Amino acid sequence: MLFAVICTSCTSKKEKKDAEPKPPNIIVIFADDLGYGDIGCYGAKGIKTPNLDALATGGFRSTDFFIPANVCSPSRAALLTGRYPMRAGYPVATRPAFPKYKNYGFAPEELTIPELLKSAGYRSLMVGKWHLGMEVKGSHPLDAGFDEYLGIPSNYGVDNTLYHNKDTVAKEVSCEILTSAYTDKVVDFINENQDHPFFIYVSHHIVHNPLLPSEGFKGSSEYGEYGDFVQELDFSTGRIMKALEEAKLHDNTLMVFTSDNGPTYKGQTGGLSGGKYCTMEGGHRVPGIFYWPDEIPVGQTSSTLMSSMDLMPLFCNIAAVNLPKDRKIDGENILDILKGKTSESPHEFTYYYNGTNLQAIRKGKWKLHLPRTVSDQPFWSKTGHPKVDKGFITLEDYVLFNLEDDLAEKVNVVVKHPEVVALLKKQADIIRAELGDVHVIGTDQRVPNLKNPQERDPVELKK
């Protein structure tokens, strides 16, 4: 009788355990310098992306996805921490080839997505470009909470050493093999971790210069090497989706696809002004695709403002992990938006920084560009370029755009809406005091370990 009771009790506990839903797996695919108009479902010309398009059709496509930086490193810091780069201490891109940046690393005090998810039993993998000062002590992906890493420290061509965790795999790895190597690693990780939840961060080099697609993709598009490279990224995405399906993890995996900032002049902005290096919409508005068959209804296209900073709160919510209470998290949980339950953005204001310079502020459809001088600008925006639209390099007065009617930011309506201008100017002063500016240290700004962050290294100037 006692044996029967014990067995019944054991069976009940086992059935209860089996019935408990497994937390969803999470995969973020982060393109590099990919423009708003560079993939098929966003109107790309000469480029075919059937796998990414399938994710959008089968899930949620955002037409107003905001990235809080227009260059690589700060965008990555914001994604991982859910905080504006000024708050997270990483407002400008690191350039490890120059001595100025030798101590400019990702602050160990910052909490990241993999660190928080670890408490819910998640294993984590990062592949690709780190670009947050890997050579600085305490700033390696493993120090930031990842269980495993395969990639190179920053942009290809700066340091082409391929690392697995902290071990050197190859000194001068060919760029053409990296996407395939990263995808192989992701597929293996999926197959090895089918019994517990995982978080995978795929940080592509595509489509950052140099444009070096692998042999099988050269000439595959009608948009030159740029298009060939994007199509290789799409193929990689398809391989990851196939691995999930074969492992029967497809339905309970949240896939997110986006880009770190807008494109260079070679890319397509989808009609937006500007691109990488500036605070026009083309620099900060990028594709945002969410796919999760178990939870996200199919076929949604949304103009609700969301941000890459929202990923941390979203992931913590679906993993039943509490957000830290000892710091400000700028992102918000957007699950109800993704499920189609609301179309209201959780962001009353968004802030456009160029390096450490606050250059624009947005509330709803209104976007106010703020006055600036050349000396305020980061080095990448101090001068014009015949092929690059860098927006307002200097601005003597305020400029107001109605993004609802003028997404290309062509018609200044500042005179017609003085009350809107006054409201946004007031909020700009508030956030400048909190997050800082070129000549202001904010009350909640993590000051970077970098002298004169807006300026080039003197060594580079001598060259």
What gap in Å lies between CA 353 and CA 172, rounded to an integer?
Answer: 35
Q: Could you tell me which residues come within 8 angstroms of residue 36 by beta carbon, excluding any fewer than 6 positions away?
A: 42, 262, 263, 268, 269, 270, 272, 281, 282, 285, 286, 287
The count of other CB atoms within 10 Å of the CB of residue 372 is 21
Closest CA to 437 of 372, 345, 389: 372
Q: Which two tokens stand for residue 251?
A: 């339905």
Radius of gyration of the chain (CA): 22
Phi-psi region of 355 (alpha: psi -120 to 50; beta: other; left: phi over 0): left
End-to-end CA separation in angstroms for the chain: 87
72 is catalytic: yes
- Clarify whether 131 is annotated catalytic: yes
In whole angstroms, give the CA distance from residue 324 to residue 333.
Answer: 14
Amino acid making up residue 461: L
Q: From CA 423, how far away is CA 435, in angstroms rounded?
A: 18
Out of 7, 131, 205, 284, the active site residue is 131
Q: Helix or strand or coil: residue 6?
A: helix
DSSP state of 378: -
Measured distance CA(92)–CA(378) in Å, rounded: 8
Which has the closest alpha carbon to 117: 328, 248, 311? 311
* Dist CA 282 CA 264 (whole Å): 10
Q: How many residues does the chain have?
A: 463
DSSP for 121-141, please give it: T-EEEEEE---S-TTSTT-ST
164, containing H or E segment: strand 162-164
β-bridge partners, 358: 353
How far is it, in rounded angstroms, from Cα 293 to Cα 302?
A: 17
Which candidate in 7, 10, 72, 164 is catalytic? 72
Phi-psi region of 313 (alpha: psi -120 to 50; beta: other; left: phi over 0): alpha
Q: How far apart are CA 131 and CA 154, in angstroms?
A: 4
Q: Active-site residue numbers?
A: 72, 131
